[in-house]
Amino acid sequence: MSRLDSFIARMEAQRDCLNFLKDKIDRLPGPLIEVGLGNGRTYDHLRTLFPGRDIYVFERKVAAHPDCIPPDNRLFLGEARASIQLAARQLGATAALIHTDLGTGDHAANMAMGRWLGPALDMLAAPGSYILANQALDVARWQRLPEPPDVPKDRYFLYRVR
């Protein structure tokens, strides 16, 4: 399997998991959170799937397509670790959905990041909310859910917050 095959499978898993969560998230109050804007494609998917819903975005440095940049008052600019602390003080544990797609091709660095990222995001997650992540995150009150139908195993990681 080439890196192209693997990337397509990961993007499909991301999209299919978000679509699978649509009805569940519609039944929950609270904002959505996108960690890592990147080129803005997933942000665009979120705002298409959940029109009118508040979406807060964390991004180190915006380099997205101009059409896919969130309004200033929904954007936490800077290093995620510090911005998440700031957002937690501002928003509390209110988010209905957190999607995170941070990281690089460096597996060890991603694993190290996961150790602080899970507990940090937990400060933003409402009881009963959902977390969708591109890597496994280990948080005591998060229960891992099985992949939705037709989504291959371990491409994306879905949790429900107790």
Give the nearest distance from C-beta 92 to a copy of itself in angstroms.
29
For residue 74, the number of C-alpha atoms closer than 13 Å in the C-beta half-sphere is 18
Give the nearest distance from C-beta 125 to a copy of itself in angstroms.
23
Q: Which residue, 14 or 129, is less far from a copy of itself as judged by CB? A: 14
H-run or E-run covering 9: helix 3-26
Under the rule (CB under 8 A), what is the footprint of a copy of itself?
Answer: 2-5, 7-8, 11-12, 14-15, 39-42, 44-45, 48-49, 65-68, 105
Q: Which residue, 5 or 154, is less far from a copy of itself as judged by CB? A: 5
Give the nearest distance from C-beta 19 to a copy of itself in angstroms.
10
Q: Which residue, 29 or 51, is less far from a copy of itself as judged by CB? A: 51
Which strands, in side-by-side order, build the sheet including 157-161?
75-77, 55-59, 32-35, 95-100, 125-133, 157-161, 142-144
Give the nearest distance from C-beta 93 to a copy of itself in angstroms.
27
Nearest residue to 142 via CA among 118, 124, 107: 118
Nearest residue to 135 via CA among 96, 160, 103: 103
Q: Which residue, 32 or 91, is less far from a copy of itself as judged by CB? A: 32
Q: Which residue, 29 or 105, is less far from a copy of itself as judged by CB? A: 105
Give the nearest distance from C-beta 88 to a copy of itself in angstroms.
27
Cα 116 from Cα 110, distance rounded (Å): 10
